[in-house]
Amino acid sequence: MAELPITAHLSSIAETLKKSPSNIAVLTAETAAGKSTAVPPFFLSAFPGRILMLEPRRVAALAIAERIAETLGERCGETVGYRMRLESRISRNTRIEIITEAVLTRMIQNDPALTGVSVVILDEFHERSLHGDLALALLREVVTLRGDLRVLVMSATINAEKIAAILDSPVVSVPGRTWPVEIVHKASSQPRRIGDAVADAVLEELRETDSTGILCFLPGIADIRLAEQRLQNCGAEVAVLHGSLSFSEQKMALRNPDGKRRVILSSSIAETSLTVPGVSTVVDCGFARISRLDPRTGMTRLETEPESVFSAAQRAGRAGRTGPGRCVRLWAQQDLRVAETPPEIVRSDLIPLVLECAVWGARKAEDLQWIDPPNSGAWAASREILAAMGAIDESGAITERGKFLSSLGLHPRLAAVALAGGFEKAASLADRSGNPREKELALKDLKRRLAQVPARFFSAAGSPSMSLLEGFPDRIARHQQDGLYKFPSGRVARLAGSDAASYAVFPEWIVAPDVDAGEREGRIYSCEILPSEEALRWIEAKASTETSIELSGSGPLANRKIRKVRRTFYGKLILREIQTQASPEDIPEAFCRLLRDEGIDILPWNQASRLFYARCRFLRHRRSGAVPSANELLEDPENWLVPFLDGSGNLAEQRFLEALRWKFDGAEVDSFVPLKIKLANGIERPLSWEESAAGELPTPVLETRVQDLYGCCSTPEILGEPIVLKLLSPARRPVQITRDLAGFWAGSWKEVRKDMKGRYPRHDWPENPAESAPLRSSRGPN
């Protein structure tokens, strides 16, 4: 341990943690500082009890446990051990436990005081996994119960100031010992598949450099397989590393090199935590596979996106762990990237988190303190699913069934499937490694856990495929056409190509546990066919029935026909739709529904009604100062509009005007906002009302000959608002637009008068119109 950069700081780290006012400290240690392997064993002498260290990834937990045991001169399972799902190595003498995320959550739930534990270390916290954020939220409550429990948040790169401010904790920063890494950008001039681009870059590195270990980052398994196929005869050993591999296969990819040249094709699993032996070169494709939940559909969208600046730095750092390295980036240096990927808690499925919070006693997200609060839409959607499973009640409190669902070591959806008799299906969906031994272990573990569940919590769902509906009630789907299925959310998704081709006739009903939302159309990656009769019985037991009155058709009300429809539906899946005879009593409901759905444009507006409504809005604005919204016409139409409908549901233009005058007190409007204005010279002229933009306040406008304003000294007003004057020539052509008549007479009138005298010499054009009598015309006011 003496050669590690962190060694000189270990005493300071321990003392800082002991003196922290919140019992929590933040440790930032650069890559290769040795924090993961040096801090836990040093704490053995600094703290009396057990030390738990959370590692986000199983393979990293194993590697770190074995490394610490080696430095202690022991075998793993003695002073230091590990605990993870389906595998653990601890003993009575174990004081350091390297544990994975779900295990830590279960330990806290089972023993909220964490009896016998002195320190909990959250390693690689910058990954901001869902369980990591949940663990910290729970631990912040645990330390209030136990004044002697300490929590250390560790990361190579983290926004320490933000985290420390939220946690009210001190920060210790430790330099690392990374070697220089040469960054080389090699952007392709032509679009290529990611796997091809990585393979070409690897072949070039093998030809032109003497690197013995090349670690490649690709976004998904399909990209990894393509690159692996391309590199079959590259002259180097090729290994793959991703989360879908079995635990034993992941360990094989991380074994010590034997002198051969090696190429490791990895997903983002190798970005942090793991030291891949023998690597001196990194090939980074520049993309990552990011999951984002759409709370409206309950479906996750897997998107291949440009990786963040943070991830790019982490990947490059893998090349400088043991010596000078080289990182080949397959994008242009000037390409823009986001600083960091949002944490899982704001973009992912929250069903497991909401269930664990309910077990803890937290019914609302606000009941716990988070670094970043959970996505509110995803939280609400998760509560709906858990309530449908019977895991929580309407208030969000955990039920007895919910407690047992959380104890099965599975995602709550799969736990519900297991309790419905589909335990083999649940175990299979939980472990997709393809490793027979691991599948056998997973099934054995699930059976052991199920044996602890009382019989009353089990249910018989019928066929094995029907058991999936207990955990995926929102994933039942009905065939529309050509392999396209519609879900209760209203979303549609299509069977993947090979699956679609396997059907001679597409089944009417399926349940699809593995589906993404897509942009306009999702994709179904796996599904089970549901027996039609059983599916209908299941869905009808949960369906709702509603009778609606509608005015069908389009355009004016006079063109609409009344329909009375009785629908049976589950979400947005319509099971049945029956049209029945409508009665006159149904007309008001249909009319009001249509008005609220389509808005006021369906009303029979004409010039008279538009003018009256403009005057109403003007009057109310001058009185209150607020600009009335047209949405007010959608308020309470049953009282002000329905009485003016005729027996067939039609609303004539004149009757609509009468309704408006009733609603807004037409007599008062006429009194304060007249249709005509009498000028100071005695002439009376009609007003119009104009809006400069839709929804803005109407402005009173007087359009008349300029001679009609002779004898007027100032601009006429309505309720203190100057009227817009559109002044015309004797031939009714525009002369001037103004709201300042006195200014016009004193200013530009001189030039206008000169022009008018030339054009219309027979008319009177006085020098001072304000003191002249108006010109009377036999043609009338307009």
- Looking at 231-375, list the stretches that DSSP marks H as alpha helix, in order from N- to C-terminal side: 247-253, 309-317, 351-360
Q: What is the CA radius of gyration of the chain?
A: 37
Helices (H) and strands (E) in the chain, counts: 26, 32
Classify the phi-psi angles of 509: left when phi > 0, otherwise alpha if psi is within -120 to 50, otherwise beta. Answer: beta
Report the b/e string of 689-717 with b at 16+ CB within 10 A: beeeeeeebbbbebbbbbbbbbbbeebbe
Instruction: Give the residue from 293, 290, 297, 294 showing the smallest Cα distance to 475.
Output: 297
Residue 543 DSSP SS3: coil
Query: Helix/strand/coil (H, E, C) string of 427-441?
Result: HHHHCCCCCHHHHHH
Are 7-174 and 181-342 in the same CATH fold? yes
Strand ranges inside 458-529, DSSP E: 476-481, 484-486, 492-495, 509-516, 522-529
C-alpha to C-alpha distance for 74 and 67, rounded to whole angstroms: 10
- Under CATH, which number does the domain 346-459 receive? 1.20.120
Q: What is residue 97's three-state secondary structure?
A: strand
- Map residue 179 onto helix, strand or coil: coil
Single out the residue of 765, 768, 717 nearest to residue 740, CA to CA: 717
- Which pLDDT belongs to residue 359? 97
A 10 A CB-CB count for 33 gives 23
Residue among 594, 617, 597, 614 at smallest CA distance from 605: 614
Give the number of other CB atoms < 10 A from CB of residue 92: 5
Is 606 exposed, middle or buried, given 0-12, 13-18 or 19+ CB atoms closer than 10 A? exposed
Contact assessment for residue 29 and residue 156, using Cβ atoms and an 8 Å cutoff: yes
CA nearest neighbour of 153 among 20, 349, 313: 20
Given a contact cutoff of 8 angstroms between Cβ atoms, the answer to whether 320 and 180 are in contact is yes
CA distance 305 to 314: 17
* Domain range summary for the chain, segments of one domain joined by +: 7-174, 181-342, 346-459, 475-539, 543-673, 677-771
3-state secondary structure of 451: coil
Dist. CA 234–CA 424, nearest whole Å:
41
**What 3-state DSSP class applies to 75?**
coil
Nearest to 538 by CA among 424, 460, 427: 460
Residue type, 705: R
Query: Is the C-alpha dihedral spanning 294, 468, 533, 499 positive or negative?
Result: positive
Distance CA 143, CA 643 (A): 66
* Residues 6+ away with beta carbon under 8 Å from 578: 565, 566, 567
State the sign of the Cα–Cα–Cα–Cα dihedral 124, 125, 127, 129: positive
Joined together, the tokens standing for residue 167 give: 């946690």
- Residue of 417, 420, 351 whose CA lies nearest to 384: 351
CA atoms within 13 A on the CB side of 265: 29
Locate all alpha helices (DSSP H) within 212-258, ordered by sequence.
221-230, 247-253
CA atoms of 7 and 34, how far apart (whole Å): 8
- The alpha carbon of 773 is separated from its chain's Cα centroid by a whole number of angstroms, namely 71
- Nearest CA to 449 out of 389, 413, 404 is that of 404
Token pair for 515: 């589906």
- Can you tell me which residue has the tokens 């001072």? 768
What local confidence, expressed as pLDDT, does residue 549 receive?
74
CATH class (in words) of the domain with range 181-342: alpha beta
Nearest to 516, CA basis, from 541, 489, 534, 481: 489
In this structure, the dihedral spanned by the alpha carbons of residues 444, 449, 452 and 458, taken in order and rounded to 10 degrees, is -90
CA 510 from centre of chain: 26
Residue 655 CA to residue 668 CA, distance in Å, equals 19
In the beta sheet, which residues pair with residue 153?
A: 26, 122
Q: Give the SS3 label for residue 598.
A: helix
Question: For residue 306, which phi and psi values (nearest 5 degrees)?
Answer: -60, 135
Provide the terminal-to-terminal Cα distance of the chain, rounded to the nearest Å. Answer: 100
CB atoms within 10 A of CB 349: 21
Residue 781 confidence (pLDDT): 43
The list of the chain residues with pLDDT below 50 reads 1, 778-782
Q: Give me the residues paired with residue 282 across strands.
A: 215, 327
- The whole-number pLDDT of residue 778 equals 38
Helical axes 130-145 vs 351-360, angle rounded to 10°? 10
For residue 736, give the 3-state DSSP assignment.
strand
Locus of tokens 């937990």: 61
Three-state SS for 307?
A: coil
SS3 for 548? strand
Any residues with CB less than 8 A from the CB of 499 and at least 6 apart, and which? 524, 527
Are 655 and 640 in contact, with CB atoms under 8 Å apart?
A: no
Task: Quote the CA–CA distance of 257 and 236 in Å, as a whole number.
Answer: 12
Contact 682, 657 (CB under 8 A): no
CA–CA dist 646, 248 (Å, integer): 78
pLDDT on residue 185? 96
Residue 173: phi and psi, rounded to 5, are -115, 130
Q: Residues 16-31, buried b or exposed e (16+ Cβ, 10 A)?
A: bbeebeebbbbbbbbb
Question: What's the Cα-to-Cα distance from 746 to each of 261, 578, 724, 754, rounded to whole Å?
Answer: 94, 74, 18, 14
Distance CA 367, CA 357 (A): 9
8 A C-beta contact, residue 179 and residue 317: no
Superfamily (CATH) of domain 7-174: P-loop containing nucleotide triphosphate hydrolases (3.40.50.300)
> What angle separates helix 532-542 from helix 464-471, to the nearest 10 degrees?
30
Token pair 């103004």: residue:
738
**What DSSP assignment string belongs to 339-394?**
SSPPPGGGTS--HHHHHHHHHHT--SGGGS--SSPPPHHHHHHHHHHHHHHTSB-T
Contact residues for 181 (Cβ-Cβ < 8 A; gap 6+): 282, 316, 317, 319, 320, 324, 325, 326, 327
Q: Directed axis angle between helix 376-389 and helix 412-419, to 10°?
A: 10
Cβ pair 105, 83 in contact under 8 A: no
Residues 496, 63: Cα–Cα separation, whole Å: 38
